[in-house]
Amino acid sequence: MQFKLKNINDWSYYYVPELEQRGIKHGFFTAKSPSHTLQGDEKAEFLGAFGLNDFVIMKQEHGVDVHVIQDGHRPVSGDGLIIISKDIAGIVKTADCLPIVICGMDSPVVSIIHAGWRGTAKKITKKAIEKMSEFGVNRKRITAILGPSIGPCCYEVKNDVRNVFMEEGFSDDIFKRKNNTLFLDIRQANMEILHNEGIEDIYDINLCTRCSRDIFNSYRGGEKEKRQINFVSLTG
């Protein structure tokens, strides 16, 4: 499977066509993204462009709360969403943090996660997989997609961050060192979680938002306000 860049309206986003053919509509937007509030005309435009009835955008907290969108329940805050109904999208906003889409390939269950370093260290990815299992998803039939995030080339951290990951049982492989400076590989950290959960089918777009700040909003690249959005939904 391969990522492709698609233009629609004034927007552009990366997606995996094979997943879309299997009824999993999703996208990792570039900086040419709908605004992260998605209100008014823009809301209607977004819903129309993707054939959606509704979406959920939460107040993100760098925590591990993963909510299921069901029975009319619309979670207000958290960092992960599980979707089990058709034509409703789960959306996360990012500008360096890692968006992850997790797909149950044999079951109509998908999830989307906002994984910054705090959420990653607390293993929000594991939490999402556990929750998907409650809905009958077979771990051997899960495909995980890692969207654009800041890479180990640019994500300088201090030892206090490393200590948190070490306490949580991560391997030292998730850190790179260059001239006595420490860098976190947040993609590798999440891959480690996925592997430990028995997930092998992982696609990594491997784009650094900070290196590519002509394409993406990057918080560390100086963009403190704007975010790009990422979404996943199930179609009929």
Q: Which positions touch Zn ion (CB under 5 A)?
A: 151, 153-154, 208, 210-211
Tell me whether residue 14 or residue 55 sits nearer to Zn ion (CB atom).
14
The CB-of-124 to Zn ion minimum distance in angstroms stands at: 23
Q: 64-102 burial string, b = 16+ CB within 10 Å, else e?
A: bbbbbbeeeeebeebbbbbbbeebbbbbbbbbbbbbbbb
Tell me whether residue 148 or residue 151 sits nearer to Zn ion (CB atom).
151
The CB-of-13 to Zn ion minimum distance in angstroms stands at: 20
Tell me whether residue 55 or residue 216 sits nearer to Zn ion (CB atom).
216
Tell me whether residue 205 or residue 211 sits nearer to Zn ion (CB atom).
211
The CB-of-53 to Zn ion minimum distance in angstroms stands at: 37
Tell me whether residue 104 or residue 148 sits nearer to Zn ion (CB atom).
148
Tell me whether residue 60 or residue 209 sits nearer to Zn ion (CB atom).
209
The CB-of-149 to Zn ion minimum distance in angstroms stands at: 10
The CB-of-68 to Zn ion minimum distance in angstroms stands at: 34
The CB-of-148 to Zn ion minimum distance in angstroms stands at: 11
CA distances from 78 to 13, 28, 58, 60, 115 (A): 24, 19, 6, 5, 11
Tell me whether residue 16 or residue 208 sits nearer to Zn ion (CB atom).
208
The CB-of-153 to Zn ion minimum distance in angstroms stands at: 3
